Structure 1
């Protein structure tokens, strides 16, 4: 059977692993003709390409929608910038997410989780994904400088924006409408906070007061804010839900983390690797590159298939096995290179604390398999519902 892959092939979304393995073995630099782009699946290839600032550019976008379906210029935000611009714009908020800064807020994060958990523990049931989502949204709201209700409203637009429809590539008509509504709503918030300034150390203030290139336009602030809500509340709920799911599937490992909670950080890390929420991101090729006997031409696009790389046997022993004791020499769960995830330390803290509190508060639980629900798409995947039941406290 000939090897066929496309990020928009819906038949692959629920179980891409056999195709990913074949691509890694037979065509590690795989050409997708109808998109005129290349796909990388091996860990080291993606790692090295992520470090290569001269051959690959983010200025044409990094998502499949931006690279293949949009004719509009990409928003002027650091996610889609190269040096030196990237450093200046990312630097407006980057210090807030440094490892030493994030370590200082662990007690606050734990307080948020315990507040949200308390009524759930009394009921004897909860949705792990919903807990993860609400925790992440409360925290990113504080970082940005928005009210929680405002971030929840934006997240609602995002959920509609990412819904996929069979037979439709990328954003649906309903998704485009949700994006337009989000644009109008967030511009209103920007106007509000110009007049009613939030906390001085918030992202909103940093963006409003930015002096780079004469200051940020309202549209630049809109895209920055929209992107921060997305990145600040996608990965953590997916990875936390999958961590609980796979621990339940491996009772011996669940017993290990109950006995030794110091293993929980590794369990969250392994869940993010084993069930990588971000299927892929991409770049535009800035100059000809030869790899595995193929010449990838300037102007074409390239996809980094993170989900495939995170199960590459060349990098990980028994890559298809969930193992919380795994020691990862390198990690692509949050990207690497110039565009590594800004909030990776916050995400790891949130995930670890939530799992610690769940495991520590619930001696035994049962996953409601009938209520579990995954979403699939060319970009994101994971459990969007993970209900568990337990003895009420």
Structure 2
């Protein structure tokens, strides 16, 4: 296969699998001449790069748009830091995301899921993505220290920011306007919080009172921290919950197995995250020259980690293009690896499990309408952003 890869290629993003397969087999360290950058496609290469603190840095950004289209250094948030700064800033908000603390949220997440589902029960129709997105927003809003209305407004602006139009690489003009609006809106919130302190133990409280190496966080650093956490806290979960039901519906016997044995839900969710990983591409910048698979990577060149490709690498997974409920994987890149593994991975898995449990328990024999599903395609995120399911309408009782 004659390989031609560009991370902003709209047609490729809609069906990247043949190209990814060819790149893994023929050119696993692919040079993108247009951007003087590299793309890694094999699982082990990306796994090892994620652990490598010597040859790569996150300080120049991690998303393809920032790495390839924007030469300005990104804001100082922990997502774009290297050790020891990364750990110091990450620890400002890390405590709520431990498995032990996440487990205490079960009743809260269940009640939120049921409340968001309730209006749909009488209709007999539910959008799985919307349900999961609202549940995630409720949870991350409390973590950050925002109201649901505030975070929902920010989320809509982020959706506009990441909307892509044919023939244009990266952010659109409307996306730039949405970012400017989000910048103004969040800065106004920060001003308010500086006058009227938020609740203790929220992220905003910790950021406002942060003192790392005798340095406090600026309003702009807090803005970017909020912006980034709204993205990471409310995108990958709904896409993966929707993907779980989409792929299960393709195998009715497997769907019935999960329905009969809810303890299999975490496996179903994990396999959906593998085969249809929402975080399509992230990357780093090379800090010193080195060689990989015979290619010379030079200091200053961006390197893209094609996670979606890696999670379908037959060197790591048997029959990787098949959704297998009982797949046993030694390693997983669905939530990253190494220093920058996803801070909210335990929360995402737990929320996904509870949402799916509530769907199976509440809706009975529902039907997944794959034909009416829609997907978002982008160089950063990709996956289902609408998945309708139908069921017998129910009469909701008073809670």
DSSP-derived class of the 2:91 partner: helix
Counterpart for residue 58 of structure 1: 58
Pair 1:329-2:330 in alignment:
yes
3-state DSSP class of the match of 1:93? Answer: coil
**CA distance, structure 2, for counterparts of residue 275 and residue 214 of structure 1:** 40
Q: Deviations over 1:320-346 (max 9, x none)?
A: 100111112111001001011110000
Matches of 1:23 and 1:337, distance apart in 2? 24
1:195, distance to aligned residue in structure 2 (A):
2.0
Whole-angstrom CA distance in 2 between matches of 1:385 and 1:196: 38
User: For 1:30, what is the secondary structure of its paired residue?
Assistant: strand
2:239 corresponds in structure 1 to: 238
In structure 1, C-alpha distance between the alignment counterparts of 2:84 and 2:369, rounded to whole Å: 50
Q: What per-residue deviation string (whole Å, max 9, x for no partner) do you get for residues 181-238 of structure 1? A: 0000000000111222222110010000111242110000000011010000000000
Instruction: Kindly state the Cα deviation for residue 96 of structure 1 after the two structures are TM-superposed.
Output: 1.4
Secondary structure at the counterpart of residue 94 of structure 2: helix
Q: Give the alignment of 1:157-236 within 5 angstroms.
A: 157-212=157-212, 213-236=214-237
Structure-2 separation of matches of 1:10 and 1:114:
37
**Paired residues for 1:82-93 under 5 Å:** 82-93=82-93
Name the SS for the 2:48 alignment partner. Answer: helix
Is it true that 1:338 corresponds to 2:339 in the alignment? yes
The residue number in structure 1 matching 2:307 is 306
Shift of residue 110 of structure 1?
Answer: 1.3
Deviation (angstroms), 1:72:
2.0
Distance in 1, Cα, partners of 2:11 & 2:146:
40
Tell me, in whole angstroms, the C-alpha distance in 2 between the residues paired with 1:221 and 1:245: 37
Say which SS state the counterpart of residue 324 (structure 1) adopts.
Answer: coil
Gaps of 5+ in 2: 395-399
Structure 1 SS opposite 2:359: helix
Separation in 2, partners of 1:22, 1:98? 39
Pairwise CA distance, 1:122: 2.2
Q: In structure 2, what is the equivalent of residue 316 of structure 1?
A: 317
Correspondence for 1:264: 265
Looking at structure 2, the residues matched to 305 and 353 of structure 1 have their Cα atoms a distance apart, in angstroms, of 29
Counterpart position of 2:110: 110
Are the aligned partners of 2:262 and 2:357 in contact in 1 as well (CA < 8 Å)? yes
CA contact (8 A) 2:24 2:42 kept: yes
Contact 2:246 2:370 in 1 (8 A): no
How do 1:135-154 and structure 2 match up within 5 A? 135-154=135-154
Residue of structure 1 equivalent to 2:397:
none
How far 1:370 sits from its partner (Å)?
Answer: 4.5
Shift of 1:278: 1.0
**Displacement of 1:371:** 2.9
